[in-house]
Structure 1
Amino acid sequence: MISSDEKIEFLKKLVEIYSPTGREGEAVKFIVESFESFGVEAYVDEVGNAIAIRKGKGPRILLAGHVDTVPGIIPVRIDDGVLWGRGSVDAKGPLATFFFATLESRANVIFAGLVDEEGFSKGAKNLDVPRPDYIIIGEPSGVDGVTIAYKGSLTAKFVESVEKVHGSLGVNAAEKLINRWLEIKSSFGEGFNALSGRIAEFHAYERDFDFYGEMIINLRTPPGYEPPDDWEILDFVPAYQVDRRGALVKAFVRGIRRNGMRPRLKKKTGTADMNILGPKFGVDAVAYGPGDSRLDHTPHERISLDEYLLAVEVLVDVIEELKGTKSRVVEESGDMEIGKGLSW
């Protein structure tokens, strides 16, 4: 067994490597070399993801977390059992949990440390690995929680150009964009099944003979949402929700209970790589990991080391239970396809 001190030291070193989106290379290298030091095959794929493969018993499980963080340096320190640092919660704590669950479970596991999650999810969209039976995404759900749903994310661009008139006359481009935003915002609501969002960028200025304005918005979209046809869509990832009655969710519920806690099933108003990888592979996906998601992206980002260590135990328990389920994916002539006639 790997000691608690080793697990804490790994997480601390990973958090100490500053890896905002687009600068993940050093952290990816650290992860790959760490796997190799434990005798596990690992490599960097074509888009920069860290991939490790652990062959074992049972169905194939994809553990996919992200290496990148939002910008902003928080001095790394351990104070009274709490690790402070950018990415400690979102999402290097969950990623380190996946690292050690891969090593300790001895199951049929693919580990993926993904790049660009805080950007446009280049790592998830281009992930090229054998099709898994189950997907677990590394995001802070709390050690006793499992996330079964995320809202979608829509990024759209609006441009207005108005012929210049005297300032006392007419409506300029900036005002038109503001009115467009207020019209969109009027449909907002609260909760998982409502639309919400923000203005991400806004630029307005005068050119030779016109007023010009540009606005980029990001909306968090509920299940079933379809953007208007006349919008310029920069990126759209639909909402995702897994069936709580499936084997994957049930394994987490039992695993959390076995470790002395009451499980919580969560629906989050953010968006994660779960929205991409679940539909991409056509199998059930949930998100799990230690940490308080309310600290994501804040200058107060920190994680309880006891919670982190317990999350490793929970995840190993879950993987051990999933080893007893039947694979839904079979291989024929080297091709992956959904298995026929298989049941849970």
Structure 2
Amino acid sequence: MSGEGFDPVAFLEQAVPIASNDDVSEMRAFLVETLEANGVEATVDDAGNTLASKGAADPERHLVLNTHIDTVSPHVPYEREDGVIHGRGSCDAKGPLAALLAAFFAADPVPEARVTLAVTPDEEVLSTGADALDLDGDLYIVGEPTNLDVCTAAKGRFEGTITLRGVAAHAAEPDSGVNAIDALAPVLDVIRSFDDDRDAHPDLGAPTLTPTLVDGGANSNQVPAECQLVVDRRSVPPETADDFRSTLQAALEAAVPDDVEVEFALTERPTPFLEAFATDPDHELVTTVADASQNAGGNGAVRPFTAATEASYFSPAPVVVFGPGVLADEDGAVAHAEREYVQTADVRSAAAALTEAVASLVH
């Protein structure tokens, strides 16, 4: 599997059986071995990112190819049938990785250009790898299962907890206390109406705000002094996590009774949330990948991606999401599901499309 003879499907047949849900070490070692077998020097940085580059050290154009090697649990064993590879990571995202590798190995950038492969170790959890990257790229292609469509935008995903604090009292004398659970009524009204005056994004549609978990009260015969409600936010540009936090806090303070203390805090995490991103559909990056996809057998469709990705770490630089496989099909979930699979023909088509696109972008 060296030189110009790199076969993305053969790579995938070896990669999918390697469990990378709890520990990516074995998969990363296989990736480094593959890069070196194809004549490319690879490094692993302190954050666990696998990095390799071709071309100018100080380029006028720098194209970055990115995806991840970690997978969700549990590991699903590899199976192969005619034209289909089953197993955890087959479409999310070892299939896209195989296609990106084919394009990277084939790339021959002009003297003033550079192409970098950056493969992260924990996209499915906290994105500490992506957060540590400092690539200064001009263009980014992120490998995810898009069914060979070119995805130019995705909603962000934030999470936080609304805490309501009242005063405990005997339930026989409820007016002697302040009921924190009762204050959920205006909170839920705020959540339902939060986006009523916001315009929908032209590509991503309207943002959503959804209550997902609730906890409150200590005893069944006591007026509850505290209540927590967790909310899930799917954002659209230009909203940031800080914008969302401050706007929701203000709306809650205006709606909740004065005798109830209300606080909204984003869930603590060591890396930034995956925020929304949007690339101009008319940008050269988009049209180049779309044309190449169509030439390779895809339909050349340009659309939003329906899941959050590490593409948000590279925005506002132009970024697209592209790869073989699907998140779901007519029978249900595919990525993150026990039936995860990818069509080998789609892997080859994605490899051909990316090879053409990369060649066009760095020549």
TM range (shorter): 0.7 to 0.9
Offset from partner CA, 1:117-165 (integer Å, 9 cap, x none)? 2223222111033x2221101111112x100111122222222344333
TM-score, normalising length from structure 2? Answer: 0.77
Note the C-alpha offset of 1:54: 2.5
**SS of the residue aligned with 2:169?**
coil
> Does the C-alpha gap of structure 1 residues 291 and 177 become closer, same or farther in structure 2, counting only changes over 3 Å?
farther
- Is contact 1:140–1:289 with CA below 8 Å preserved after alignment? yes
- Counterpart of 1:233? 266
TM-score, normalising length from structure 1? Answer: 0.81
Structure 2 distance, partners of 1:188, 1:86, is: 37
Structure 2 distance, partners of 1:272, 1:181, is: 29
Structure 2 distance, partners of 1:38, 1:205, is: 61
Structure 1 distance, partners of 2:18, 2:186, is: 43
- Counterpart of 2:350? 311
- Counterpart of 1:146? 150
- Counterpart of 1:330? none
Structure 2 distance, partners of 1:181, 1:93, is: 42
| Equivalent AA in structure 1 for residue 163 of structure 2 | V
**SS of the residue aligned with 2:70?**
coil
> 189-198 vs 269-278, which deviates more?
189-198
Structure 2 distance, partners of 1:265, 1:37, is: 35
Structure 1 distance, partners of 2:209, 2:337, is: 18
- Is contact 1:32–1:52 with CA below 8 Å preserved after alignment? no
Q: How does 1:32-71 map to 2 (within 5 A)?
A: 32-55=32-55, 59-71=61-73
Structure 2 distance, partners of 1:33, 1:147, is: 30
Residue 290 of structure 2 corresponds to residue 257 of structure 1: no
Offset from partner CA, 1:146-186 (integer Å, 9 cap, x none)? 00111122222222344333456477545645763563144
- Is contact 2:298–2:349 with CA below 8 Å preserved after alignment? no
CA RMSD, Structure 1 to Structure 2 (Å): 2.8
Identity %: 27
Q: How does 1:125-144 map to 2 (within 5 A)?
A: 125-129=131-135, 131-143=136-148
> Does the C-alpha gap of structure 1 residues 186 and 309 become closer, same or farther in structure 2, counting only changes over 3 Å?
same
Quick check: which one's strand share is greater?
1
Structure 1: 5+ residue stretches without partners: 325-344
- Counterpart of 2:252? none
Structure 2 distance, partners of 1:137, 1:31, is: 17
- Counterpart of 2:340? 301
Structure 1 distance, partners of 2:273, 2:192, is: 18
- Is contact 1:154–1:218 with CA below 8 Å preserved after alignment? yes
Structure 2: 5+ residue stretches without partners: 250-263, 329-333
**SS of the residue aligned with 2:117?**
strand
